[in-house]
Structure formats: C-alpha cells, structure tokens
Amino acid sequence: MSTPSNHDNRHSRKHEPASGHGHHDHGPSGHSHPRGIKGFLYGLFVPHSHDAADSIYDALQANKEGVRALKISMVILLATTLLQVAVVAISGSVALLADTIHNFSDALTAVPLWVAFILGRRAATKRYTYGYGRAEDLAGLFIVAVIALSAVLAAWQSIERFFNPQPLENLWWVLAAGIVGFAGNEIVAVYRIRVGQKIGSAALVADGVHARTDGFTSLAVVIGAAGVMLGFPLADPVIGLSISVAIIILLVGTIKSIGRRLMDGIEPIYLDTARAALEGTDGVRAVTTLQLRWIGHRLQGAATLAVDCTSLADAEAVAAQAEHRLGHALPNIESMLVRTVSR
C-alpha cells in the first residue's frame, strides 16, 4: 500500500516508561472538590491523587509495594487488637469489644488482598487470557462480607447489653485503649492510602479509608467511656450500636466501589485525561472511540484515532506517539489497543 486514502491499523503493546522530552500530560487534573468542612471530610474519606509522576510504572514492583503495605499494616492492627482484647477482659466495655472485633476483622481483610496481589503477578494463560488481576476485585467481595459480619456481631453484643447491663471497670484503661486504637488505625490508614495511590490500587485505598473509619469509631469508644464516668451507664452500649451503624454506612460505599470495578466502571477523570493525551498528539484529528477499565490495580483499554496520514508508516508513527503520551498521562496503563483510521 503506497499512499492509501483509507487504512485501518491496530497497535497492541504493553506500556513501558518512555524517555524523551517535550510536553506530556501528567495525570488526572482539572476538577474541583468541595471546600470547607465538607471538603475536609471529603479529603479524609475520599482520598485521591492528581500526581501521576508519583505512580509506579512496573506491575511487578507495584505488587511488591502492595504486599509490603499489607504485611506491615496487618502487624500494626493485630498488635492494636491484642492490646484492646486485654482491656476488654478487665473492663467489660461492649463499645470497646465492638471496636476490637472490627479492628481484628480489618486486619484479616489484608489476607485475601495479599493473596490477590500475589495472584496478580502470574502471567496470562490460555484460560485466563487477561491474567489474574480480577482476583483483587474478588478479594474486595470477601472484604465486604467480613465487614458485614463484624457489623452484625457488634450490633448483637450492644443490643444484648441494653437488656443485660453490666458494670464497667477500669474505665481509664478503656480510654487509653480507645486512643491507642485511633492512633494504630490512622497510621495504617495513611500508609495504605499512600501506597494504594502510588500503585493505583483502589482496593488498597478503600482498605485504608476503612482503617481511618475504624480509627474514628475508636474515638467513639473514648466518648462512651467518658459518658459512663459522668453517670450515663447506657453510653457504652449506645456507642457500641453507633459503631455498628457506622460500619454499615461504610459498607454501602464499599459495595458501590467494588461493584463498579466488577462492571468495568471507570472514573470519568481517567477517561478525560486519556482523551486529552491522545487528542494532543500531532496528526490525530479526533478520538472516535475510547475505552478504559481496571484489571486489579492496572488499566487496560482500546482507542480508535482518526489521523491525518497518507501512508501506513505515518499512521504507525502517530499511534506510537499517542501511546507514548498516554503512558505519561496515565502510568498505570498496562496495555492499550490503538486503532488508527485515515480518510
């Protein structure tokens, strides 16, 4: 084909970090967020990152980072839980028991996610041609089940204490355990969220938000113990029941997040960023189709570009440059099928 007026050329390749100079898009940006108190809460419980330059290109390195974060955070949460178990035994606080149960379940949710990260390293096979990245989303379903079970157990213990109240002892220890629970969970939350953003893992970020919410329920335990000290004996089961409600509210958001991933949903900002990178490539007239989806914590997609080219070689060069720009804009891209059409 010498100078075709119409050609269809497809490129499919694994993305590697490209070197070179010139202008590149560097990740999702250009959208606003709530301000004031609403913005503060949004930042705490809906964390995000605009800086794609901080992301990890290599999938294997991303998996290693994720596994390391899970190991360290699990040890911290288990240590916090053991301390709280001891205080529950000497105080009889049902609010602290509810918080302890949830902290323990949060530590256990790291196990299936850990397994999913390890499975994600395996190469694609004839049966699983897209690889094993979906294991991360399946682990998310298990996490949802564990969270639901812990909420039901905590609520049952609190309701029982309404009908069978028991005196609390060593309230100062309960206060201390609640503060330790908050500190341990917040450390884990910051660490998980930071690593999750770095490797592009929504599941790990969500697990970090989960830990942050646990931290605030630990503060609720402190409030309950203070209420008992001030002469309100039902403050402890009331706070325990409130923790259960908080868990259920968190569960709704988690179900939405996991369900969106399983349905190949994508955050619009990523699509906008990819489109801007492709449209900004010299020789591209328009992006006629664009698809992206998450496979675990890596992105895959396909695009059709209308190009101003008179030869197949020119079209290939435009497609290569478009992929180069896209790799800088979205470093978490694992593979991209680019189809060029010239008229």
- The answer to whether 113 and 138 are in contact (CB under 8 A) is no
Residue 58: pLDDT band with limits 50, 70, 90: low
Strands 333-342, 298-307: pairing kind: parallel
Phi-psi label, residue 20: left if phi above 0, alpha if psi -120 to 50, beta otherwise = left
**CA dist 25 to 17, 34, 277, 285, 321, Å?**
14, 24, 6, 18, 13
SS3 291: strand
- Percent of the chain having pLDDT more than 90? 13
**CA dist 119 to 63, 75, 114, 208, Å?**
10, 22, 9, 21
Confidence check: pLDDT of 80 > 80: yes
**Six token digits for residue 271:** 């699509």
Confidence check: pLDDT of 297 > 60: yes
Alpha-carbon gap, residue 306 to 152, rounded angstroms: 55
Confidence check: pLDDT of 325 > 60: yes
DSSP β-bridge partners for residue 12: 337
DSSP β-bridge partners for residue 302: 291, 337
- 188: part of which helix (H) or strand (E)? helix 171-199
**Six token digits for residue 128:** 């699983």
pLDDT digits (tens, 9 = 90+) for 8-46: 555 554 444 433 434 444 444 444 445 544 444 444 444
Alpha-carbon gap, residue 275 to 199, rounded angstroms: 22
pLDDT for 8: 54
Which position has the higher pLDDT, 60 or 6?
60
pLDDT for 103: 77
| Average pLDDT of the segment spanning 123-139 | 86
**Six token digits for residue 179:** 């503060």
**Six token digits for residue 326:** 């896209």
The string of DSSP codes covering 80-112 is HHHHHHHHHHHH--HHHHHHHHHHHHHHHTHHH
Q: Which of 313, 305, 303 is nearest to 342 (CA)?
A: 305
Neighbours of 162 (CB within 10 A): 13
Confidence check: pLDDT of 4 > 70: no
* Residues ≥6 apart with Cβ < 8 Å to 135: 115, 116, 119, 120, 296
Residue 275, φ and ψ in degrees, nearest 5: -65, -40
| Average pLDDT of the segment spanning 90-105 | 76
Residue 213: pLDDT band with limits 50, 70, 90: confident
State the chain's mean pLDDT as an integer. Answer: 76
Per-residue DSSP letter, 11? E
pLDDT for 22: 41
- The answer to whether 277 and 266 are in contact (CB under 8 A) is no
pLDDT for 3: 36
pLDDT for 284: 92
Query: In the structure, how many helices (H) and strands (E) does the chain have?
Result: 10, 4
The upper half-sphere exposure of residue 152, i.e. CA atoms within 13 Å in the direction of its Cβ, equals 6
Sign for the pseudo-dihedral over CA of 294, 138, 58, 72: positive
Residue type, 258: I
Selection from 124-128, 204-208, 302-306 with the highest mean pLDDT: 302-306
pLDDT digits (tens, 9 = 90+) for 103-123: 787 777 788 888 888 888 888
pTM of the entire structure?
0.65
Neighbours of 258 (CB within 10 A): 22
pLDDT for 304: 93
| Average pLDDT of the segment spanning 132-156 | 80
pLDDT for 271: 92
- What the chain holds in terms of domains, given with CATH numbers, is 7-28+267-342 (3.30.70.1350), 36-262 (1.20.1510.10)
Q: Which of 36, 31, 70 is nearest to 48 (CA)?
A: 31
Selection from 30-34, 148-152, 230-234, 288-292 with the highest mean pLDDT: 288-292
